[in-house]
Structure 1
Amino acid sequence: MTGRQFATAIARAAEAGAVLAALVGLWWSASHAGWISRVFLPTPEAAGASLVDGLAGGPLAGFTLATLGRMLAGWLLASLLGIALGLWIGSSATARTWLQPMLEFVRPLPASALVPPAIAVFGLSSGMVLSVVAFGAMWPVLLATVHGVAGVHARLNEVAAALQLSRITFVLRIALPHALPDILAGMRLAMTVSLIISVVGEMIASQSGLGQAILLAARSFRASELFAGVILLGAIGVVSNTGLALAERRLLRWQQHP
């Protein structure tokens, strides 16, 4: 990283910190001034105390680990299925012709619409939540992979034909590296989707996790615990997205021009 890039990164971090500080200041003012009842909007100090107590000696740490495990398992399964199917569909014009209408039909369906059929098959179990998470998070990876593989330049296909490369060799050595930027972008989006669906699934299926903790806190009017759970969800989203962004930058270093 050059000096200019480092200075730019510091400036952007400072700007983001200033926005965050302004939002927290507005929250502090609204709660302390009584603009909104503390039954619904706790003070930042109360939410922070609930967060610390819940992670230190309360059940919040266990709930967080349960949600993280469910999110990561669904994301990994979705990524594997999305990449495998995307490579197959993207590298075959026949498969794209036959399957594109079905993909366009299924893609807009919200993952929550599959909760009733999933409950009928798996019951109110962790497997039901995992299946819905994997289905909902698979589409960003699948569609990004199809787009990346189908966008391979025609001359590369001609080179592969001239070298008599098999379809598997072409996919692994040419199509997959070409589609890698799209795949990684789809995986970042899928991580966010998997977190959201994990929380919703925990609320619906009464599975241990942050979703259930937030729902129970809301029903009991424990606003500070509710906000502590929401803060944890935001932190998980930021950390996971930042980690994937760093991994993406490292994996795509070969594309960067000197």
Structure 2
Amino acid sequence: MRRILVNVMWALTLPALLIAAWWLVSDDSTSIYSPPLRTILRTFGPTWDGDRLTHDVVPSLLRLTAGYLLAAVAGIGLGLLVGLHAQLRATLEPVLEFLRALPPPVLVPIIMLFAGIGDTMKLIVIASGCLWPVLLNTVEGVRAVDQVMIETARSYRLPAPARLRHLVLPAASPQIFAGLRQALSIGIILMVISEMFAASNGLGFAIVDFQRSFAIPEMWSGILLLGLLGFVLSMLFQLVERRALAWYHGLRASRRAS
């Protein structure tokens, strides 16, 4: 627990310094487009009160969670399938690389044509962007599993589900979590972008709405809230990752000590 607190303290140091620098640099600002940080902080509480919280923040988090989980399940499942079968991997790799290279924001208008402008469109946009880091990292993690161990498990006639659960998944899990970490940051970006297109609520919609009505301090407060949400989600992910990969981090620590 003490180590976690120390890590949190170190993680907060740079943001605190940046906020202090922002406060000092912007304190004398008279520009309507870049108000002082104290003005932004003063509007933060009244802007994101109970109504805004339930109308914009909660729907955004629900969409992000649903799209992210959908991408995680699909990416890990397809990644295991492709990674375990060399012929399938060789067949699909060019197509996967082509689809991965397409920026998800470019697909938003196309997705709107087929899925409409409701929550389904936003979920598909988030999931389509989060899928590729998870999928490709899972494939690489499975490919990196020691073939000698796989052949040994087969020689002992260990069933395929048992090999997958006790050998392949644990060995590939560090790479899988690396993909999940990348997907989280992409998901936050796509959550905002998807809510800027024909939406009636959400953080992206609120920020654009503030900008169009020239409520500049409120707009900056929304950007600040997005940064805080990203930081909190990243810290929560690290806690989950450390618990799930405790054996891996312990192994690396023992190797460094030796």
Deviation at 1:61, TM superposition (A): 4.5
Deviation at 1:58, TM superposition (A): 4.4
Distance in 2 (CA, whole Å) between partners of 1:8 and 1:114 is 42
Give deviations 1:44-75, integer Å, cap 9, x for gaps: 22212222112335424431111101101100
Find the partner of 1:72 among 50, 59, 65. Answer: 65
Find the partner of 1:28 among 13, 23, 29. Answer: 23
Structure 1 counterpart of 2:7, one-letter code: A
Q: In the alignment, what sits opposite 1:91?
A: 84
Q: In the alignment, what sits opposite 1:121?
A: 114
Unaligned runs of 5+ in 1: none
Structure 2 counterpart of 1:54, one-letter code: T
Q: Which moved more, 1:138-147 or 1:57-66?
A: 57-66
Distance in 2 (CA, whole Å) between partners of 1:10 and 1:175 is 32
Q: In the alignment, what sits opposite 1:138?
A: 131
Structure 2 counterpart of 1:40, one-letter code: Y
Distance in 1 (CA, whole Å) between partners of 2:103 and 2:27 is 39
Distance in 1 (CA, whole Å) between partners of 2:205 and 2:125 is 17
Give deviations 1:124-176, integer Å, cap 9, x for gaps: 11101111111110111111111111111110121122122343332222111
Unaligned runs of 5+ in 2: none
Alpha-carbon RMSD: 2.1
Deviation at 1:227, TM superposition (A): 1.1
Alignment map for 1:151-162 (pairs within 5 Å): 151-162=144-155
Assess if the C-alpha contact under 8 Å between 2:79 and 2:139 holds in 1.
yes
Assess if the C-alpha contact under 8 Å between 2:27 and 2:38 holds in 1.
no
1:196 aligns with 2:194: no
Deviation at 1:247, TM superposition (A): 0.8
Alignment map for 1:1-258 (pairs within 5 Å): 9=7, 12-13=10-11, 16-17=12-13, 19-34=14-29, 37=31, 39-255=32-248, 256-257=250-251
Distance in 2 (CA, whole Å) between partners of 1:183 and 1:10 is 24
Deviation at 1:25, TM superposition (A): 3.1
Distance in 2 (CA, whole Å) between partners of 1:174 and 1:165 is 10
What's the secondary structure of 1:237's corresponding residue? helix
Aligned length: 251
> Percent identity of the aligned residues?
36
Shift of the 128–251 alpha-carbon distance from structure 1 to 2, 3 Å rule, reads same
TM-score scaled by length of structure 1: 0.90
Distance in 2 (CA, whole Å) between partners of 1:104 and 1:84 is 18
Give deviations 1:178-231, integer Å, cap 9, x for gaps: 111111121122111111101100001324100000001111221111111111
